[in-house]
């Protein structure tokens, strides 16, 4: 008896919804027959409100089968009403501005609702002017991205846009150019916020790839001038989607190879080559075509993601032969070109910084990127090549940014092997920079680094370079390749007063206070070792390239660096020596090497001050 009563209430509820919907639709038809546009707007608003309430009821309670059934029946009734042969075009036009968004909200209720909502949107596209439907769908898309179920209900809107593009008769480039930013912004937002996982992403990306297919189909039909601009826009769109796919994929990276391959198929048609993508020249070209002489902020804001997509598309090809085949590329030829051409190689390193600095990109992709970087740096001897003294300064800011991004990967990578590869890549890139500029790069990296351990590594690299220069200086008599003045200049690049500035930066930070211990213990230890090495080397060789042996320099180091640091170390050690907790023990153990090297530096300086040479 209770079951029969529940069934009766359910039937009554569904019937009342259907009656209310039919009454509202009847009012819609009648309202357009009069002159009162305000009444028409009110009726349409009432219809939209009704639809929103039905979809909200189903979405808010996913386990409620009755709500799902009601939602589906309401959609069917809408489609039946729109398909009526007697429906006036004026009614269709009025409803076309509001219903696409309202029915798209049903897409997350069930698969049958998704299919029906797509059918309704397709019907509007067929019956209305595509130039009117394009902004309607774009507005619906942009206002839907902030909702919890956005990944579901933007799906029919994306499919609708792919069909609208095919229906546009004129001004193709201008209209597609207006729509593409909306699509990309919404897709990026939805993928970064959604927890639906790869399965749902696959559906969304399939629909975005269909949009690329529609743009491609339009390109084929156009004349050369407009075709070229639209092809550039297609290229930008594909590269941006490539970046979103790479960043958003939460499953095994290899599982998205089919999507990446589909996207790569468009690259040759857009005149995008792996060499042009990895050096950035192709990105510059398509950007100039799209933006032109106007500073189009919308598209300029896309550049960082487009560049990420540009270089990651090459890494996908490096990682999987089927992707390179889809792009119609020969990776061996690309790698050979980068190995043999230093400028192209530097440009490639500059582009790869977008991968290294991306916090959301899977570590697997970064691993392949370091493998690629090591591959193109293999066997290069550019630092020995002629042209060492050419003006390469325009490339240094980009290389600095790339090295800085690599240091972040070294610091934060979760795997030892990857950290080792990242460090090897860092050293190879650094070695590829002309000697005359290498110190400035290292100095800038140290100055702009917050990690004590990384600063220590960078200071040790400075010391390694000084050792190398010292050896080269000692063998200078055996070399006949360079003029003596050139030899002297090359072999004293790191042996300058700037080395002492680096030491001071760590031992006496710019704010004047002593360095923070034990937090900056690694950096302090490396700085002390660098100072001790410099002092001993200059004393042994009876030179003073750095000025470390001058009385004023020794007095400054003693009074301003070493003695304040000794006071600090003694204080921290005293604080923790009587504490038998594990944390205090760790602090004492960490500071023991610092204390030993510090006292050795003090002894050396005191000796030099007593017996100046």
H helices of 128-223, in order, are 130-142, 150-153, 155-167, 172-193, 198-221
The pLDDT, as a whole number, for residue 505 is 94
The rounded distance, in Å, linking the Cα atoms of 322 and 536 is: 57
Q: Tokens in use for 133?
A: 């439907």
Of 15-19, 317-321, 375-379, 396-400, least confident by mean pLDDT is 15-19
Mean pLDDT in residue range 124-140: 91
Domain of residue 501, residue span = 434-475+489-610
With respect to residue 37, please indicate whether it lies within any of the assigned structural domains: no
Instruction: Say if residue 488's pLDDT is above 70.
Output: no
Contact status, residue 230 vs residue 215, Cβ threshold 8 Å: yes
Where do runs of H (alpha helix) occur along 292-362?
A: 297-300, 303-319, 321-326, 331-340, 342-356
Q: How far apart are CA 122 and CA 120, in angstroms?
A: 5
Mean of all residue pLDDT scores within the chain: 86
Per-residue buried b or exposed e for 586-606, using 16+ beta carbons within 10 Å of the residue's own CB: ebbebbeebbebbeebbebbe
**DSSP class of 395:** G
pLDDT of residue 10: 46
Q: How confident is the model at residue 11 (pLDDT cuts 50, 70, 90)?
A: very low
What is the C-alpha separation between 367 and 421, in angstroms, rounded?
8
Q: What is the largest CA-CA distance in the chain?
A: 111
Provide the CB-side half-sphere exposure for 500 (13 A, CA): 20
**Which has more pLDDT, 537 or 31?**
537
Q: What is the DSSP secondary-structure string of 469-498?
A: HHHHHHTGGG--SS-HHHHHHHTTSSSSTH
The answer to the question of residue 138 being in a domain is: yes
Rounded to the nearest 5°, which phi and psi values hold at 514?
A: -65, 160
Examine the fold and report which residue of 289, 306, 329 is the final residue of a domain before the chain moves on. 329
Say yes or no to pLDDT of 135 above 90: yes
- Its pTM stands at 0.88
Q: Of 307, 329, 351, which residue is a domain's last?
A: 329
**Could you tell me if residue 567 is inside a domain?**
yes
What is the Cα–Cα distance from 534 to 470, expressed in whole angstroms?
11
Give 223-258 pLDDT, tens digit per residue.
Answer: 766 788 999 999 999 999 999 999 987 677 778 899
pLDDT mean over 489-511: 86
Of the three residues 300, 329, 358, the one that is the final residue of a domain is: 329
Distances (CA, A) of 416 to 144, 254, 421: 43, 22, 9
- Confidence tier at 294 by pLDDT (50, 70, 90): low
For the chain, the domain total comes to: 2
Evaluate whether residue 246 is within a structural domain.
yes
Least confident of 9-18, 129-138, 238-247, 431-440: 9-18
In a domain, 361, yes or no: no
- On whether the CB atoms of residues 366 and 409 are closer than 8 A, the answer is yes
Structural domain contains residue 349: no
Q: What is the pLDDT of residue 221?
A: 85
| pLDDT(163) > 90 | yes
Are 315 and 445 contained in the same domain? no
31 located within any domain: no
pLDDT score, position 591: 84
Distances (CA, A) of 449 to 408, 509, 565, 591: 9, 13, 21, 21
| Contacts for 338 with CB less than 8 Å, ≥ 6 apart | 275, 278, 344, 345, 348, 376
pLDDT of residue 147: 59
Give the Cβ contact number of residue 6 at 10 Å: 11
Report whether pLDDT(319) > 50.
yes
DSSP 8-state class, residue 107: G
Greater pLDDT, 579 or 330: 330
CA 420/CA 422 separation, integer angstroms = 5
> Does 355 fall in a domain?
no
């Amino acid at each position: 008896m209770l079951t029969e009563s529940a069934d009766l209430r359910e039937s009554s509820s569904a019937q009342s919804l259907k009656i209310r919907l039919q009454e509202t639709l009847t009012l819609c038809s009648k309202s357009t027959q009069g002159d009162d546009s305000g009444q028409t707007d009110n009726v349409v608003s009432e219809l939209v409100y009704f639809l929103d309430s039905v979809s909200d009821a189903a979405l808010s309670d996913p386990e409620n089968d009755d709500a799902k059934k009601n939602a589906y029946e309401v959609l069917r009734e809408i489609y039946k009403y729109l398909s009526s042969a007697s429906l006036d075009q004026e009614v269709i036009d009025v409803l076309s501005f509001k219903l696409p968004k309202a029915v798209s909200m049903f897409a997350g209720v069930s698969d049958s609702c998704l299919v029906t909502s797509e059918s309704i949107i397709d019907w509007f596209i067929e019956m209305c002017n595509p130039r009117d439907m394009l902004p309607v769908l774009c507005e619906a898309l942009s206002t839907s991205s902030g909702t919890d179920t956005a990944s579901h209900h933007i799906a029919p809107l994306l499919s609708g846009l792919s069909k609208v593009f095919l229906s546009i008769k004129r001004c193709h480039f201008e209209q597609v150019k207006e729509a593409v930013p909306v699509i990309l912004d919404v897709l990026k937002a939805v993928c970064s916020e959604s927890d639906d996982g790869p399965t749902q992403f696959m559906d969304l990306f399939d629909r975005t790839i269909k949009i690329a297919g529609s743009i491609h189909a339009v390109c084929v039909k156009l004349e050369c001038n407009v075709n070229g601009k639209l092809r550039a826009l297609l290229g930008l769109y594909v590269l941006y989607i490539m970046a979103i796919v790479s960043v958003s994929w939460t499953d095994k990276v290899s599982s998205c190879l089919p999507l990446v391959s589909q996207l790569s198929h468009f690259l040759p048609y857009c005149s995008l080559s792996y060499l042009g993508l990895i050096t950035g020249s192709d990105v510059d070209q398509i950007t100039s075509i799209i933006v032109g002489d106007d500073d189009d902020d919308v598209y300029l804001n896309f550049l960082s993601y487009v560049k990420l997509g540009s270089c990651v598309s090459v890494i996908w090809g490096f990682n999987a032969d089927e992707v390179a085949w889809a792009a119609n590329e020969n990776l061996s030829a690309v790698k050979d070109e980068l190995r043999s051409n230093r400028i192209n190689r530097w440009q490639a390193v500059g582009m790869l910084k977008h991968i290294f600095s991306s916090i959301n990109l899977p570590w697997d992709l970064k691993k392949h990127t370091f493998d690629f970087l090591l591959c193109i740096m293999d066997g290069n001897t550019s630092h020995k090549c002629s042209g060492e003294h050419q003006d390469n300064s325009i490339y240094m800011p980009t290389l600095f940014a790339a090295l800085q991004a690599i240091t972040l990967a070294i610091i934060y990578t979760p795997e030892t092997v990857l950290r080792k590869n990242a460090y090897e890549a860092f050293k190879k890139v650094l070695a590829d920079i002309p000697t005359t500029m290498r110190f400035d790069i290292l100095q800038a990296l140290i100055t702009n680094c917050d990690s004590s351990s990384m600063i220590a590594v960078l200071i040790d690299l400075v010391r390694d370079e000084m050792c190398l220069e010292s050896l080269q200086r000692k063998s200078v008599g055996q070399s006949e390749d360079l003029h003596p003045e050139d030899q002297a200049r090359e072999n004293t690049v790191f042996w300058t007063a700037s080395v002492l500035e680096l030491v001071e930066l760590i031992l006496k930070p710019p704010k004047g206070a002593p360095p923070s211990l034990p937090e900056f213990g690694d950096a302090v230890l490396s700085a002390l070792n660098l100072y001790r090495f410099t002092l001993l080397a200059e004393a042994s060789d009876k030179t003073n390239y750095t000025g470390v042996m001058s009385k004023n320099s020794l007095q400054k180091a003693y009074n301003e660096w070493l003695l304040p640091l000794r006071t600090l170390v003694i204080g921290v050690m005293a604080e923790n020596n009587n504490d038998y907790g594990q944390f205090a023990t760790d602090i004492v153990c960490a500071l023991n090497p610092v204390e030993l090297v510090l006292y050795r530096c003090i002894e050396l300086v005191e000796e030099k001050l007593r017996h100046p040479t």
